[in-house]
């Protein structure tokens, strides 16, 4: 009985150690993802020029999500325009680099 109990306890403690280790490993792996330097300030500049007022915008299938406009969403016209311009600028830069 004692041996069985001890084996159970050993297994339980092994599981706890594993769970803690697993949680920490996942946390660390996910924490290691951060935006590239410069992204925060680029986006902030684009956001700064965006007045906030909600209106409905229509989606254009041609442009799709590649232009950051999602169908049916309520977004500011200026906000959407800002996103479009910002996205275009970034893609243009990427294109020139690549």
Q: For the window 23-52, what string marks contact with other proteins as x by the rule CB under 8 A?
A: x-xxxxxxxxxxxxx-xx--xx-xxx-x-x
Distance CA 37, CA 75 (A): 27
Is residue 58 part of the contact set for other proteins (CB under 8 A)?
no
What are the residues whose beta carbons fall under 8 Å from the beta carbon of 63, sequence distance 6 or more?
69, 84
- Which 69-88 residues touch other proteins, going by CB under 8 A? 69-71, 73-76, 78-80, 82-83, 86-87
CB nearer other proteins, residue 8 or residue 24: 24
| Residue 10 beta carbon to other proteins: minimum distance, rounded to whole angstroms | 16
Minimal distance in Å, beta carbon 38 to other proteins? 11
- Cα separation of 81 and 49, whole Å? 10
CB 44, min distance to other proteins, A: 6
């Amino acid at each position: 009985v004692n041996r069985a109990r001890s084996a159970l306890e050993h297994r339980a403690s092994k599981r706890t150690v594993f769970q803690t280790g697993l949680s920490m490993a996942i946390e660390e792996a996910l924490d290691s993802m951060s935006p590239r330097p410069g992204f925060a300030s680029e986006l902030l500049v684009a956001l700064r020029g965006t007045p906030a007022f909600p209106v409905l915008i229509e989606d254009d299938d041609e442009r799709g999500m590649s232009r950051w406009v999602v169908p049916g969403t309520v977004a500011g016209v200026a906000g959407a325009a800002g996103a479009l311009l910002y996205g275009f600028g970034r893609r243009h830069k990427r294109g020139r680099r690549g």
